[in-house]
A and B are shown apart, each in its own frame.
Chain A
Amino acid sequence: MVDKSLELFECGHRACGGCGAALAARLAMKGAGTNTIVVNSTGCMEVFSTPYPETAWKVPWIHSLFENASAVASGVEASLKKQRRGEKVVIMAGDGATFDIGMICISGAFERGHDFTYICYDNEAYMNTGIQRSGATPYDASTTTSPAGKCSFGNKRPKKDMPQIIAAHGAPYVATASIAYPADLMQKVERAVNTKGPCYVQVHAPCCTGWGFEGEQTLAIAKLAVETGLWINYEMVDGKVSKVKKVVKKPVEEYLKTQKRFRHLFKPARQDAEIAAIQAMADRNFEKYGIEIKLKKE
């Protein structure tokens, strides 16, 4: 059982007020428990939680490089195994480190089948260095390297389906979660940590600074992402999708309107074709995962 009162991510870290990633780390550590060693890749979480000589972590924690968190975790896990010790190894990495930079090391570590849990906090761009696009940036989001303007509506490519790539490596447990559903997130991390073999949890963590919204809206926006079908919460056990979060469908506009990174879709003129394209992506998700709850007509 998850011990909700367990605090392994301490106050005093330097994340923005209302940071989704900080909340993701706090909740994930409640699920992982005290008997954990954390390997952190470079990223916002590493920077705001550990400006030397401070650290927000209350478990053993190591940072090496941007690209090699899963290689470092492999070594840690192999050494623990040799010493017959029982600590759980958890990787915390952002979407840039996961989707782009760490891809080779991740692929190697999952293929070798080390016993660790990889938690990706997905804030959909390189937020720490100033909002550059990553493989996780959604279609039409404006970032500093995919700016919206006269010639462009922002990021041209849809988000990479990372959970499927990990599942294709034969990972026994792959899950997506959102900070909008804290109990679900903690349970998924707990299950991943207690599953033997390389497991993966991808957590949707809105970034108030990078996406352009007020800090108090973080959870409301995370929830809207799930309700509009642009983020799907599901579990994949041995490659088979199960336990999908079902929702009452909302139009994608409600989600897009809340964030400055999509502002160009509404101002100066409403871009119906682009909004329809994003709606079509959400509709495909609804169809693929069968997540719509149909309300009975009275």
Chain B
Amino acid sequence: MALAVGCRARPGKSRDNKTGSWRVFRPVFDNEKCSKCGLCQTVCPEGCIHETDEEFMEPDYTYCKGCGLCAEECPGGAIEMKQEEK
């Protein structure tokens, strides 16, 4: 691999690394229980939870490592961790 001058890299190039493959448990969001508080989005260490057009929360499974922090912190219990089937 050739090194760029100063070993520089494009901003946010880590998106090439699809960390979703690490996942063992998948967070499943229940919109009926969701109060749209956005806490899951704030506490996600990956920053991979986004707001949908209806203001509900939606994880990006391409990057979600399945740590379960969102499910643990969700005040409404709207997120359930389910084992991945591969």
Q: Identify the closest chain B residue to A23 (Cβ).
A: B45
A49 CB to closest chain B CB (Å) equals 7
Contact mask for chain B residues 22-57; partner A; CB cutoff 8 A; 1 contact, 0 none = 100000000000000010001111111000000000
Bound CA–CA A15/B47 (angstroms): 12
| A/B interface sample: 14 pairs, CB < 8 A | A11-B15, A12-B15, A12-B17, A17-B45, A22-B46, A50-B9, A52-B7, A52-B9, A54-B16, A57-B11, A58-B12, A179-B43, A214-B68, A216-B68
Interface of A is mostly: loop
Interface centre among A4, A18, A57, A179 (most CB of B within 10 A): A18
Contact mask for chain A residues 158-184; partner B; CB cutoff 8 A; 1 contact, 0 none = 000000000000000000000100100
| B45 close to A18 (CB less than 8 A) | yes
Contact partner of A55 among B13, B62, B73, CB < 8 A?
B13
Contact partner of A13 among B4, B9, B14, B62, CB < 8 A?
B14
Q: Which of A78-86, A102-110, A217-225, A232-240 contacts B (4 or more CB under 8 A)?
A: A217-225
Q: Identify the closest chain A residue to B19 (Cβ).
A: A12
Known contacts A7-B47, A17-B22: A58-B11 contact under CB 8 Å = yes
Chain B: residues with Cβ within 8 Å of the partner, total of: 36
Contact partner of A11 among B14, B66, B81, CB < 8 A?
B14
Chain A interface size, under 10 / 10 to 19 / 20 to 34 / 35 or more: 35 or more
Chain B CB within 8 A of A14 CB: yes
Q: Identify the closest chain A residue to B23 (Cβ).
A: A17
Contacts of A50 in B (CB 8 A): 9, 14
B82 CB to closest chain A CB (Å) equals 14
Contacts of A19 in B (CB 8 A): 45, 67
Q: Identify the closest chain A residue to B38 (Cβ).
A: A4
Contact partner of A53 among B1, B19, B43, B73, CB < 8 A?
B1
B50 CB to closest chain A CB (Å) equals 10
| A53 close to B63 (CB less than 8 A) | no
Known contacts A18-B45, A55-B10: A12-B72 contact under CB 8 Å = no
